[in-house]
Amino acid sequence: MRNSIVRFFRGELLLGVAEFELETSFLELAEKIGIEIPRNCTSGNCGTCMARLISGTVKLPEVLPPGLDDDLVQDGAILTCIGIPNGNCDIDLIPPL
């Protein structure tokens, strides 16, 4: 059985690949492979760590935090500090505008 991975992009540029770890946020996975993601609160309130989900699925809280709303989620937005990958995911660190 193959392990799941998360690929981090900035636009078309592949920044790195991290092996998926259960209940680990995108922010933590990125840090483990040396990718810096801007952040402030790390609790989903500020939106500083927003990125765009290119492919895959993400576990988000049932009630969205102040840093995220339904419209942003529909545009592919995730907050890397609280977003947990559900298997293979590709993430663009350029957030949807």
pLDDT at 1: 42
Q: Let me know: does 92 contact 70? Beta carbons within 8 Å.
A: no
pLDDT at 2: 60
Q: For residues 90 and 17, give the distance between their C-alpha atoms in angstroms, rounded to a whole number.
A: 9
Per-residue pLDDT of the chain (97 residues; tens, 9 = 90+): 467 899 999 999 999 999 987 889 999 999 999 999 999 998 999 999 999 999 999 988 888 999 899 999 999 999 999 999 999 999 999 998 7
Domains along the sequence of the chain with CATH: 5-92 (3.10.20.30)
Six-digit token string for 87: 């298997």
pLDDT at 97: 73
Q: For residues 27 and 30, give the distance between their C-alpha atoms in angstroms, rounded to a whole number.
A: 5
Q: Which residue has the tokens 């993601």?
A: 37
Q: For residues 92 and 97, give the distance between their C-alpha atoms in angstroms, rounded to a whole number.
A: 12
Of the candidates 3, 5, 1, which has an alpha carbon nearest to the alpha carbon of residue 17? 5
